[in-house]
Every structure is written in structure tokens, then in C-alpha cells.
Chain A
Amino acid sequence: MAITKPEAMNFSDKNIIMIISGLPGTGKTTLALSAPDVLLIDTDEGMARVNPAHRKDASICKTYEEVLADIKAAEGHYKTIVVDTCGALIEYMKDWAMRTDPKASKKDGGFSLQGYGIIKSEFIRLSAELRKKFNVIFLFHENMTKVDENVFYELVVEGSTRTLVYQPADLAAHLFIQTGKRYLGFTPTEQYSAKSAYGIRGLIEVPELKDGEPNDFLTRLFAQVRKNLDAEAKTLSPQQDQYKEVMDAVKRVCAELTKPEQAADTKEMLMNLPHVLTSEKEAKAMFSKRLKELNIVWNSAAKAYQYAE
């Protein structure tokens, strides 16, 4: 095991997994291509709709095995893998599961419940594998559903996998156009799902890409994520060190409590520690737990700790 002190942590190489979802025509593919050194896994012919000036290398595959082979070949040559779209990739996974695992097929030829289990596990495995080597951007089309007056934007992906695809993602944003401007929404609302982290939250405007300008919006966003992570680690580092010291002291003081006569002093000692973060509340909880273990209670009439009767 390699233990790293917070002050020695370096997030400059941290790979980021991000979901971008939006209605067709909002510019998801072009935006995804603004990430650093992209290879696009084009399962949806998305590259054809991109302005030629902004096109990047693409892998055009027909099976899941081909996708895996191209990803393997991309190691060391690209920094970001864009899956366009992830909904189509999951369809490839279904086909792969049915061809390679008999449990994935029902007798009538349909896709079985176990099959969904197989692709869920495969999606988690693939995400974890990809993160080791690349930033990953999963693109999803969205459907707009209307219930009464309320509009909800939902990922176009097999129902049971919808909840799962968000899990490995660090960030998830809904891309939309409002009054002629494009925005990424990182904070979940009643209208769309999203995921904010590392200080990236709320609405961020995606500037219009003018001729001759570099397409580097996500490259800058990822750099900001790493900068925020570094800044957060540096700010929290002294607090985390102090927290660890205080909690070690809390454990020691609580373990030394064995009799009701010691309880008041123990409590005072615990409260006088140089608390930080949530250590004071945790110390109180640990003290209460210790009293319970020892069958000690507070007698308010006698104003003293004593064994419960």
C-alpha cells in the first residue's frame, strides 16, 4: 500500500469521467472534441455532423469487441476517449453479451434480465479501466418528456442502465440552448439530471465557437477541475492532519474510560481537544457509545454518572 500525505497529493494527472447529455443538434460532439487529445468512438455517426475544422481522430466500429480493440490501441496516443453515444455503445454491449453469454438471451430470442446484469457489470468495468488511462466523455442523446406542465430531459439509454451510467462519472452536465446561448447545467434540477463536483456547478455558458478559434472549452474546464482539486487539497491538508490527531486522542480517551467516576473528566477532556471539521460531534457520539457499552447513564437528580439500574 502506498500512503500519500495530503500535502504531497498531486492531481495534475487525474483523469476525469464526464457525461454530456442534450437534445439532438445542441452540439454535444463538437463540445466533446474540445477535450485534450481526443479519440472519438463513433457509434452514432456523430463526426459527420461536426464542422471539418474541428474533427479529430475517430474509431468507427460495428461491434463491442472492435471498440475494445481500438481503445487498447489508443493507449499512450490519446488523452481522452469520447463515446458518442453511450446509448449506442450499450446496444453494442447487448449484442456482445448475447453472442458471448447464453444467459443474456431469453428462449424467445429477446434480451434477458440477467443480460442487463451482464452489461451493467461490463459498463462499470469498462469505466474503471478507461479511467486508468484516459479522460472519458460519455455522450448521450436526450428525450424530452412532459408530465402535466413539467418538462423532464431523460437520457436515451436502456431504462435499467440509466441510473448506473452516472455512477462512475465525476461530472455530468445537461447541454441546452436558451435565448441563443449554450449552457452546461452541472447541478441537478427537477428538469434534468446532472452531477457537480470539484467546484464545477450550476450553469456554465459554452461560448460560441467562431472560425479560427481553438476548440478547447473542455481542455480548459478539465484544467480548472485539477486546479480546484489542488487548491482544495492544500486548504484542507492542515485541517485533515489536525482531525486525524484529534480523533486518535478521542479514541484513546474513550478507551481509558472504564468507571462512572471517570466519565465527567473524560467528557471534559474530549470537549477541550482542539476540534476541527466534525471531530467534536464525532467525539460526543463516541463518548455516548462508550457509556452505553459500560452501562453508564447520567443521573440528572444526582448530577452524576452512574451505572444504570
Chain B
Amino acid sequence: MQNKFRLTQSLMSAYLWTFKKEDGYDEFIAALNREKKQPTVAMLEGIRFENVLNSVLLGEHLPEDHEWKFPITEMATELWGAQQQVTLFREINVDGVDFLIHGVLDYLRAGHIWDCKFSKRYELNKYLGSPQTPFYMYLVPEAFDMTYIISDGKYVYREKYPREIVDPIEPYIRNFMQFLDMHNLVNIYTEKWRVN
């Protein structure tokens, strides 16, 4: 049986950050080695926001004076009835190598994917070019679109990517493999990300 390797959008994002961030390479090596990352304050705040949203989607009532009443109510109205935290796998073969794409969608309903983000300083088109879009659209070939539904704690913003404008994932994977090859990292990847 041929070897198969797990690939996630987070690993792909970490790889892409090596080109954009000064300490991006070190962070990518940590991700490649599957090192647990200590959550930052911003990450913890994002988790708390998502937990509040999910509890409202499960029927909990938010008090009127809750700090996130306005954005959570708006987001919950849109996401009502969607399945939360949908874990998906799908195989792909790129240049003779078998990969297992793995992802956890925040919300899925009737052909639409949503990813919830909490960003104190949201900038327009922040998620344009994020590998998360093509990876999640690959995981759900029947989906029409993917929407990033974002809040800064006060307002709700949306970035919607219809399938027609989403890139295929093969070029991402090909570039990623070339990068690993150039930096002698193939062994780490095949060791740490092999699917048993």
C-alpha cells in the first residue's frame, strides 16, 4: 500500500507565512514538527467569541448588555441550523503522492460553508489568498461558496468566495512539496504527517 500524508490548511498557511513574516520560517518548522502552540491572548479571545456564538446557536439567550450582543445576534441569525465543527477528510494525488486533506469546518448548511473569525483589527479582503478557502472547497466539492464571517466585537463583516473564483489546491500542494524539497524538510514531513 502506498504511503499517504495528511495535509491541513493550517500547515499550508504556516508554510505561506514563511514568505510574509520575519519569524515565519521558525513557526513553520514548529508546525511541521506538530509542536503544540501556546495560544496567544488574541487566539483565546477568538475561542471565547466562537464559544459564545455556538452556545447561542444551541439556544442560549444572551443578556441585553452582553459585550458581543449585536454581532453574535447577527451571526447567529445567519448561521441558524448549520452543522457546527464538521470534520472532513478527502484524498488527493498530486504528482504521484497521495495526500489526505483534513479540515474542520466551523459551519456547514445546504451547500454553504462558513468560517467564523474574531479579529480586533479587521482589514478588507484579509482572507483573500488564504489557503483555507481552496482547501475547504476541496473538502466539500458540492459547496457553492465559502464565507468568512468576521467580527471585531462590534460589527460583522463578510468575505464570500463563490466556487468560480476559488483556485484549485494542486498548485498549493506542488509548491509546498518543492519548498520542503529545497529546504531538506521532506523527511520531517513524511515522518510526522504520515497517515497510519
Residues of A whose CB lies within 8 Å of any CB of B are 117, 120, 124, 162-164, 166-167, 187-190, 193, 195-197, 201-202, 240, 243, 277-279, 281-282, 285-286, 288
Contacts and interface: CB of A to CB of B under 8 A. Distances in A.
Interface string B152-170: 0011111010101100000
Interface stretch (B10-18, B47-55, B106-114): B106-114
B109 A281 contact: no
Interface string B131-163: 000000000101100000000001111101010
B97 interface: no
A188 B110 contact: no
Contact of A278 (B110, B123, B154): B110
B124 interface: yes
Contacts of B155: 120, 124, 164, 167
A191 B136 CA distance: 25
Which 4 residue pairs are nearest across A and B when measured between Cβ atoms? A277-B111, A285-B83, A285-B86, A282-B83
Interface string B104-122: 0000111110000000001
Contact count band on B:
20 to 34
B30 interface: no
Nearest to A240: B110
B47 to A, nearest CB: 19
B154 A117 contact: yes
Contact of B124 (A162, A190, A196, A278): A162
Nearest to B112: A278
Nearest to B164: A201
26 contacts: A124-B155, A163-B122, A163-B123, A163-B124, A163-B157, A164-B155, A167-B156, A187-B165, A188-B125, A188-B128, A190-B128, A190-B129, A201-B162, A201-B164, A240-B110, A278-B109, A278-B111, A278-B142, A278-B143, A281-B86, A282-B86, A282-B108, A282-B109, A285-B83, A285-B84, A285-B87
Given A201-B164, A201-B165, A278 B140 contact: yes
Contacts of B84: 285
A202 B129 CA distance: 16
Nearest to B129: A190
B44 interface: no
B27 to A, nearest CB: 23
Contacts of A278: 108-112, 140, 142-143
B180 interface: no
